[in-house]
Amino acid sequence: MTGQAHTAPEILTNHTDVICSTSIERIVTGRNTALAQIETLIRQLNDVSTLTRSIGGKSALDCAMKRDFRCGCWLMEKREAAMKAITRNLDRDIWRDLMKKSGMLSLMDAAAREQWYNSLEKDDIPAVSEENILSTFEQLHLDKGEVFERGVINVFKGLSWDFKTNSPCKFGSKIIVTGLVKCDRWGFGLNWGWQRDRLADLERMLMILDGKPVPDNRADVTRRLGDHIHENRHSNRYEDEMFVIKYFQKGTAHITFRRPELLEKMNDILVKYYPSALPSRT
């Protein structure tokens, strides 16, 4: 397999810091301090409610609520249930932030990112602790090559073999996808959906293989293509450093790769997983 350039940023440094010099100790200490203060606040609010009810009033929540307006708040629920929910919500946000700073999301395809975010919605997410952070990101660091390669494989497997241009054995110099664009009386428009995600995945993989920074979703190829289509509603062609994209009224798009040496690296990954797919190169 051709060596990959800049497949991922370093996840851990000296086993004490997560990428961006964010101290694990500071995160864990801050998390525990915040939860302790929240628990104290819940106890105090419960004491206030006991007092206000004893003198003929309602709970602290009712006293502080704007007229004819109510919303849910865990601070006014029973302490055990409230602390469980609040802890889970805080840990979920911390894990998201750590993952974003680690750089691992840039290696994941859309399906892997969705799986990660869905895992954080479960009730049994791991508590944010030094041990859990270290073990999680050490494992992610070990798996980063496999994560990236799995993304390449998923994009390849998602191609339709109904088009002769799409080879079932390799990434050709041009691929055809359906449903990337739409066309109406006002001209072309870019669709939302999995084909859009797949195009963003392709660009991210090529940029990583080229050793260049991965653009975020505010500047990736789908954003640039969408802006181009919006500004040129009757054009059917877009170009950048990685792709030439020609799109048609029926919604299909022909994506031509402009960097054959990077395409070769992606095909090397396919050979690694499917040794009989391509003949060996001399």
Q: What is the pLDDT of residues 60-85, one digit of tens each?
A: 777 766 655 556 778 878 889 889 99
d(CA 134, CA 138) in angstroms, rounded, equals 6
Q: What is the pLDDT of residues 18-55, one digit of tens each?
A: 444 458 888 999 999 999 999 999 999 899 989 988 88
Say if residue 176's pLDDT is above 90. yes
Q: Report the side by side order of strands in the sheet with 253-257.
A: 174-177, 253-257, 243-247, 237-239
Kindly indicate the confidence band of residue 5, based on its pLDDT and cuts at 50, 70 and 90: very low
pTM as predicted: 0.70
154: helix, coil or strand? Answer: helix
267 neighbors 171 (Cβ within 8 angstroms): yes
- Name the nearest CA neighbour of 156 among 142, 166, 144: 166
Handedness of CA 191, 195, 199, 205 (dihedral sign): positive
Say if residue 141's pLDDT is above 80. yes
Q: What is the mean pLDDT of residues 228-235?
A: 91
Mean pLDDT is lowest, of 15-24, 38-47, 85-94, 182-191, for 15-24
Token pair in block for residue 241: 């450093």
Say if residue 236's pLDDT is above 60. yes
- Return the ∠ at Cα 157 (arms to 154 and 158), rounded to 5°: 85
